[in-house]
Amino acid sequence: MCAPGAQNVHGRTHGSSRRGLATEHCWWHDVCQTWLAPFGPISIHIRSSSMSIAKQMFRFGLIAAAVIAATAGPSASAEENTTVDGSGQKVVVHLSHFTDDLHRCFMAVKVANLMQEYGADVTLFVDLEGVRIAERKQELKFNWGPDSPSLAELYEKFAAGGGKVLVCPHCAKSAHITDPGLKRNADIATLPMLGKLLIEADKVMDY
């Protein structure tokens, strides 16, 4: 902190008659030292004649920042609350994993449910190890993370919401899976069905 009697940039002392000016100098000096503290010890000398203008500019800056924050807040909040309408969009979620990577498996079905909630027409396309999720005999009693719904719950939610599951025909054959052995809303695709599905898709998400 500066005190009466401290030297200014011209080497003159602040006498008692200039106590108000010295106090203003010290106030600005403290603010500058606070802002520049991360850069190490720095000596701050500012012309006393500039103090009032600088102080007013600083105050104006604070007011402007507050106004910007106040106007930006509601806008950001309104954007977050804007309803997203996915109606008419065709989304394919591609899943190639099962118990070999449960994390991917959970993410695929969760994202499929999310897109479905926004009104999109969602198809879960499974191949490789992913075909196992569509098997009727697979109870899907798996959890991933604390308080996570089971994979069975996520799958049932997707199916109940009208979600479709298409199984790669070659992968189904390799896994000895047939149509009677599939869960509800699941079918073994034909090559023309797969071609149409992927060509017409607005979005394809890969897991």
Q: How confident is the model at residue 178 (pLDDT cuts 50, 70, 90)?
A: very high
Q: Give the DSSP per-residue string, 40-59.
A: --------GGGHHHHHHHHH
What are the residues facing 165 on neighbouring strands?
A: 124, 186
Confidence (pLDDT) at 187: 95
Q: Domain residue spans in the chain?
A: 16-80, 90-206
Confidence (pLDDT) at 71: 52
Percent of the chain at pLDDT > 70 equals 60
Confidence (pLDDT) at 65: 62
When pLDDT is averaged across residues 92-96 and rounded to a whole number, the result is 97
Confidence (pLDDT) at 146: 82
- 141: pLDDT strictly greater than 60: yes
Q: How confident is the model at residue 100 (pLDDT cuts 50, 70, 90)?
A: very high
- 185: pLDDT strictly greater than 60: yes
When pLDDT is averaged across residues 111-117 and rounded to a whole number, the result is 95
- 162: pLDDT strictly greater than 70: yes
Inter-CA distances, 8 with 14, 42, 79, 152, 196, Å: 7, 15, 52, 76, 81
Nearest to 136 by CA among 187, 188, 184, 190: 184
Residue keyed to tokens 């006393």:
48
Q: Which CATH architecture has domain 90-206?
A: 3-Layer(aba) Sandwich (3.40)
Q: How confident is the model at residue 61 (pLDDT cuts 50, 70, 90)?
A: low
Eight-class DSSP state of 130 = G
- 8: pLDDT strictly greater than 50: no
Parallel/antiparallel/unpaired status of strands 164-167 and 121-126 = parallel
Contact 26, 2 (CB under 8 A): yes
